[in-house]
Amino acid sequence: MENKLLTPLRLGDYTLKNRVIMAPLTRMRADADLVPTKLNIEYYRQRSSAGLIITEASQISRLAQGSPMTPGIYSDKQLAGWEKVTDAVHQENGRIFLQLWHVGRISHSSFHPGEGLPVAPSAIRPEGNTLTSEWKQVPFETPRALETSEIKATVRDYKQAAINAKKAGFDGVELHSANGYLLNQFLHGKTNQRTDEYGGSVENRARLALEVIDQLIDVWGTGKVGIRLSPFTFSGDVHDLDALPVYEYLLKELDFRQLAYVHFVRARSTEIEDQMVFEKEKELWNRYSGTIIAADGFTPETAEEYVENGLADAIAFGRSFISNPDLPKRIEINAELNAYDRTTFYGGGEKGYTDYPFLQEQNA
């Protein structure tokens, strides 16, 4: 029987060759200027058989950075570095979207000493520790609440980043509004206690994400813009089921716009005990009538089942794409997957990055 995961998919302005998507994966291997390197080019080139590559999150400004050595998309050098990545992927007949990132309070002042403390909707410290620019584990700082005028400036930073991404030859952009970062912090009441037009009501808390989406559409058109959402995430200390009405509203608004796709990080059964959450999740997804990518914890088998049952149009694989550059081929011939090595996820060189074997190397 034909494997539906391997069939083409119309996604916005493109027809993808398959529904096996490479999830955005931060790997912390850019250079000191936060520019993609030769090694990064090779890594993405190796993974061009994905229906779509969504890059690692790329910060839109200095203040937007939250981890060491993550690539930016705000300087000319960074843009030129990314251009080589998109060229390599296109030479291999691949498609690649850039994930646009602002971490908000999940930052540390060591990344932007000139700008000082991390920024956020409200001055609320996340629980836990973070890494400094020197790779030292330290407790999070209490962020500074953005002024309303600074929020407008942040929207402009996103727009400029989208323009830069276009110049760098990407096929589109994904707005990172998931996993506890800035836009996610605005959506949830636990992290957003503002009293201006960006806080309080459902409409106000969704305002920033929608303003940014509209700027991205202005630059790219609806068919080349996606958004990533994780309504039930525990990452970044934002978990807050009271945020559900915000997502209902946001999805209604996104449905009007008909983006290239909405990318959902699904609720984790290891984190969530209340079974009602999974019903709520289904309801949320049903509010979006366009293309849906689903992520988190899929195997080739569960992914196929999911797509076959119409729960999503495509599946994003994270860790399996780290260790299997030829993942679609392995799915096609039902080959065993290479195991991933967690210790080489973040930082370092080619070990655990570009040295995972392709099938033909393994069989040679």
Ligand X SMILES: Cc1cc2nc3c(=O)[nH]c(=O)nc-3n(C[C@H](O)[C@H](O)[C@H](O)COP(=O)(O)O)c2cc1C
The catalytic site residues sit at 181
Q: Which of residues 253-282 bind ligand X (CB under 6 A)?
A: 265
Under the binding rule (CB under 6 A), the answer on residue 60 touching ligand X is no
Under the binding rule (CB under 6 A), the answer on residue 191 touching ligand X is no
The one among 319, 329, 347, 358 contacting ligand X by CB under 6 A? 319
Residue 332: which H helix or E strand, with range?
helix 327-332
In the stretch 136-155, what mask flags binding to ligand X with x, by CB under 6 A? Answer: --------------------
The one among 18, 29, 30, 56 contacting ligand X by CB under 6 A? 56
Query: Rounded to whole angstroms, how far apart are CA atoms 349 and 182?
Result: 29
Residue (21 or 119) nearer to ligand X, CB: 21
The one among 20, 21, 57, 119 contacting ligand X by CB under 6 A? 57
The secondary structure of the chain in percent helix, strand, coil, rounded to multiples of 5, reads 40, 15, 45
DSSP string, 10-44: EETTEEES-SEEEPP-------TTS---HHHHHHH
Residue (133 or 204) nearer to ligand X, CB: 133
Phi-psi sector, 334: left (phi>0), alpha (psi -120 to 50), beta: left
In the complex, least distance from residue 320 CB atom to ligand X, rounded to whole angstroms:
6
Q: Which of residues 10-49 bind ligand X (CB under 6 A)?
A: 23-26
Q: Which residues of 297-326 are buried (b: 16+ CB within 10 A; e: fewer)?
A: ebebeebbebbeeeebbbbbbbbbbbbbbb
Instruction: State the CB neighbour count (10 A cutoff) for residue 76.
Output: 10
The residue range among 36-44, 87-95, 208-216, 296-304 that interacts with ligand X, by the rule CB under 6 A, is 296-304
Query: Rounded to whole angstroms, how far apart are CA atoms 70 and 54?
Result: 15
**How do beta strands 261-265 and 119-120 pair?**
unpaired
The residue range among 129-137, 141-149, 176-184, 201-209 that interacts with ligand X, by the rule CB under 6 A, is 176-184
In the complex, least distance from residue 315 CB atom to ligand X, rounded to whole angstroms:
8
Query: Rounded to whole angstroms, how far apart are CA atoms 313 and 19?
Result: 7
Residue (145 or 293) nearer to ligand X, CB: 293
> Given the rule CB under 6 A, which residues bind ligand X?
23-26, 56-57, 99, 176, 178-179, 228, 265, 295-298, 317-320, 345
